[in-house]
Amino acid sequence: MQGYVLTRYGGARAMQLREVPKPTAGDGEVLIRVHAAGLNPVDHTVRQGGARPVWHLDLPLVAGSELSGVVEGIGAGATRFAVGDQVYARTDKLKLGAFARYAVVDESFVGRMPRSLEFEDAAGLPLAGLTALQGLRELAITPGDRVFISGGAGGVGTLAIQLAVWMGASVATTASPRGESLVKSLGAETVINYREQKFKDVLSDYDSALVLTRGRDLTDSFDILKQGAKAVSVTSIDPATARDDLGMGRLLTALLWVANTKIRRRSRRRGVSYRSLMMHPSGDDLDVLARLVDGGQLKPVTDRVFPFEQIPDAFAYLEEGHAKGKVIVRL
């Protein structure tokens, strides 16, 4: 079968379409015939070696972090699914495997696909949806809260806006003029054109912030929060996350402690707290997302769908940074 294989760390040529063996489901796993797979910024971060201090991959291996498809085989001890079930999943961070005709995934990472979605839209939901749901859960959103979400027109942002509105919050976000109508249609009440204004100069007294963008946006978010409020970032790693969620040793944790000195000082001065989020695969959370989709409270946003044979072009498009919603490949 064909797979898009991460052969080494490096540039675009480090991933190649190759013939690979069809996998076999092991204990507690399911074999999925992949119908579609989502592309994510983390995929090219992994390709470039940016995740090497965190995830030690056994190369070469089939790349890809999320998929939708049909269960074709059941491993020993797996009981949650039956052959023929339509499912979607966030793959294991160390095994990956979504960019191939077949993939093997631990059944605890798999959810039943929303009945109202086609495979292409469902494939773009797991990674971004889990990130948005778990990030907002970390912020403990309550009805009436005012929540700031940076990068609202991206894959995670489009879902986070909808989930925050479902939780009863009012949302402010950043977007380009091209993305403004999209984020407003999803429920954002306030949209800051990041090309013309800094959100910290416009917003104030927010209850929490979900920071999905890089650069100064995390520290700038401290300036718009109330005393005692909290920010969660998905683009940085704080020492507590490194120790508790990633199992990093004392040396790397200590280095992160030093690297985060300015951020810690800024948050203390503003009287706010912050935490990095490392999303974890969860079939139970995917079932929550599926219920929201089928209930009309959540709608995945797909920017473009490419044929699997054009996956290098799909990655080139993703890395341009202009996608509104998710980029998908159809197998």
pLDDT (average), residues 88-103: 96
The predicted pLDDT at position 261 comes to: 64
CA-wise closest residue to 34 among 299, 329, 310: 329
Q: What pLDDT is attached to residue 48?
A: 84
What's the confidence (pLDDT) of residue 240?
A: 57
Least Cα distance to 178 among 323, 31, 78 occurs for 323
Please give the domain boundaries of the chain with CATH numbers for all domains: 2-125+300-330 (3.90.180.10), 128-276 (3.40.50.720)
252, pLDDT greater than 60: no
243 pLDDT more than 60 = no
| pLDDT value of residue 190 | 97
Is 76 exposed, middle or buried (CB count within 10 Å of its CB: 0-12, 13-18, 19+)?
exposed
> Exposure of 17 by Cβ count < 10 A (0-12 exposed, 13-18 middle, 19+ buried)?
middle
User: Tell me: the pLDDT tens digits for 153-163?
Assistant: 988 999 999 99
Q: Is the pLDDT of residue 270 over 80?
A: yes
Model-wide pTM > 0.85: yes
Which residue pairs from 248-253 have beta carbons closer than 8 angstroms and sit at least 24 positions apart in sequence? Answer: 248/53, 248/54, 252/53
DSSP 8-state secondary structure symbol assigned to residue 71? E
pLDDT the model gives residue 248: 55
Mean per-residue pLDDT, 89-104: 96
pLDDT of residue 239: 53
The residues, any chain, with a CB within 8 Å of residue 301's CB and separated by 6 or more, are: 155, 158, 159, 182, 186, 324, 325, 326
Alpha-carbon distance of 126 to 132, in angstroms, equals 10
CB neighbour class for 316 (10 Å; exposed up to 12, middle 13-18, buried from 19): exposed
pLDDT score recorded for residue 230: 95
Distance CA 126, CA 81 (A): 17
Higher-pLDDT residue of 325 and 289 is: 289
Q: Residue 138: its pLDDT value, please?
A: 94
Q: Which residue has the higher pLDDT, 266 or 25?
A: 25
Which residue from 36, 86, 85 is spatially nearest to 65, judged by alpha carbons?
Answer: 36
Confidence at residue 268, expressed as pLDDT on a 0 to 100 scale: 83
| Residue 262, pLDDT above cutoff 80 | no
pLDDT tens track for 29-68: 999 999 999 999 888 888 887 767 667 788 999 999 999 9
| Coil vs helix vs strand at 224 | coil
Of 208, 203, 223, nearest to 263 by C-alpha is 223
148 in Cβ contact with 213 (< 8 Å): no
| pLDDT of 238 | 57
- How many alpha carbons lie under 13 Å from residue 163 in its C-beta half-sphere? 30
pLDDT of residue 256: 57
Residue 70, pLDDT above cutoff 60? yes
User: What would the pLDDT profile of 180-201 be if each residue is shown by its tens digit?
Assistant: 999 999 999 999 999 999 999 9
ω into 143 cis (within 30 of 0):
no
Q: Give every CB contact of residue 81 below 8 A, 6+ residues apart in sequence.
A: 30, 71, 74, 87, 107, 110, 112
CB 141 within 8 A of CB 160: no
Under 8 Å between Cβ of 176 and 207: no
Tell me the Ramachandran region of residue 255: left when phi exceeds 0, alpha when psi lies from -120 to 50, beta otherwise: alpha
* Token pair 């159809």: residue: 330
Chain-wide mean pLDDT for the chain?
90
259: confidence class by pLDDT, cuts 50, 70, 90: low
Q: How far apart are CA 215 and CA 122, in angstroms?
A: 30
